[in-house]
Amino acid sequence: MKALSKIIKVDYLSRVEGEGGLVIEIKDDRTVRLRVNIFEAPRFFESFLRGRPYFDVMDFTARICGICPVAYQMSSVHAIEKIFNIEVEKPIKELRRLLYCGEWIESHALHIYLLNGPDFYNIESAWSSKEYLTIAKKGLYFKKLGNEILTILGGRSVHPISIRVGGFYKMPDKKSLSALLPELKKAYEESLKEIKWVAGLQFNDNSWDTEYVSLIHDNEYPMNYGNVASNKGLNMPMEKFIENVQEYQVNYSTALHSGLKRDSYVSPYVVGPLSRLNLNYEKLPAEIQNMIKEAGISLPITNTHMSIIARSVELAYAFYEAIRIINEYNEYDRSFIDSELKEGEAVWITEAPRGILIHRYELDNSGYVKNCTIIPPTSQNFAHIEADIYRFVQNNIDKPEDFIKKESEKIIRSYDPCISCSVHVVKTRNC
């Protein structure tokens, strides 16, 4: 039998944020080249920030992403507060966590119901069938509630404007937050049931032994605080972790790739909801743990396609946490802590919906940014996405081209890539 040689191309990835494609080259019955081709224009935010005053950073970084602006604000504000030796008080910490809950809700709802969900019904989009339309509307309902949290706390649902070094520009009143409770409680009960629906979807097997990386915390399911850990024994402070991450450029992408430094090589790893759930299951409330068991979900989950389960669990958890924080909130007069300018450098990592978001800032003694590094979760996942698809193609190399193409796209969507966040480099050529 003649050896198989062909090129499989996906010119434009659908149902992902941003612009990218996929090229798979097969020669003599094996995959010789695989590229997740990111051609979206680079954003240059790290360059824009150099020379800007520290108080501009949160508003600038929020513009990196329209889906997860809070994540960029949280990582940046905590890093700058670390330079200034600011420890915000508990009410501020809790409200920031609530703001993050709003973002997790709207982002996870978007991905579960509109981007990834249609894959399990073999439809092109959430609007392609009357059967799925009811499911999609539920996702929009959840997303709307997440946006309402962002609006009350952040001033608007996209690119919030309330975060400042030391706290908030303005604290919300109890009445405005409490008005959300009836719908949040209803949504929590619905989202808890939805875990069963998601767990009952038909998943192709794409399980393999890999490294899952997330924050861990002694007392909470992590969002803003903790060490960086993995299922392979990694456990270190944030500032140490960035020293173990190697960013590198590939010539077919405007996004950097990342890997963990080893003795003689760099290895891919996974960040995101699957990593968080695998490493932090015990920090979930008992009723969510019980629903996970009732739905027949076994942990750890190592099948990429089942990332949607982790997002469903976190969607319910974000509603649970939002209700808890609002119930416990008492109006607080002081919205921020004053700070003194200090020269220095700091790293902070928070859990964006798509995984750990790394920020490092160096400020001069006037509070201006000298240097900064931003490593988005999607950049950290790209090397693993390619390894994941490569492994799948090798195991299915004799299957029809259309099958390989569609399943490879599904793998990419399972990671919920935010391509616009990831583009940080520009291709150059000699003239």
Which residue in this structure is represented by tokens 């997790």? 104
Residue 156's contacts (CB-CB under 8 Å, 6 or more residues apart) are: 150
Radius of gyration of the chain (CA): 21
Q: Would you list which residues are annotated within the binding site for Ni(2+)?
A: 65, 68, 418
What length is written for the chain?
431
Q: Would you list which residues are annotated within the binding site for Fe cation?
A: 68, 421
Question: How many CB atoms sit inside 10 A of residue 238's CB?
Answer: 24
- Fill in the amino acid letter for 354: R
Q: Would you list which residues are annotated within the binding site?
A: 46, 65, 68, 374, 418, 421, 424
Q: Would you list which residues are annotated within the binding site for Mg(2+)?
A: 46, 374, 424
Strand 245-248 relative to strand 235-236, pairing: unpaired
- Lookup: tokens for 323: 């209700």
The secondary element (H helix, E strand) that includes residue 431 is none
Q: For 309-351, give the DSSP string.
A: HHHHHHHHHHHHHHHHHHHH----S--B-------EEEEEEEE
- Lookup: tokens for 88: 């915000």
- Lookup: tokens for 292: 């996970």
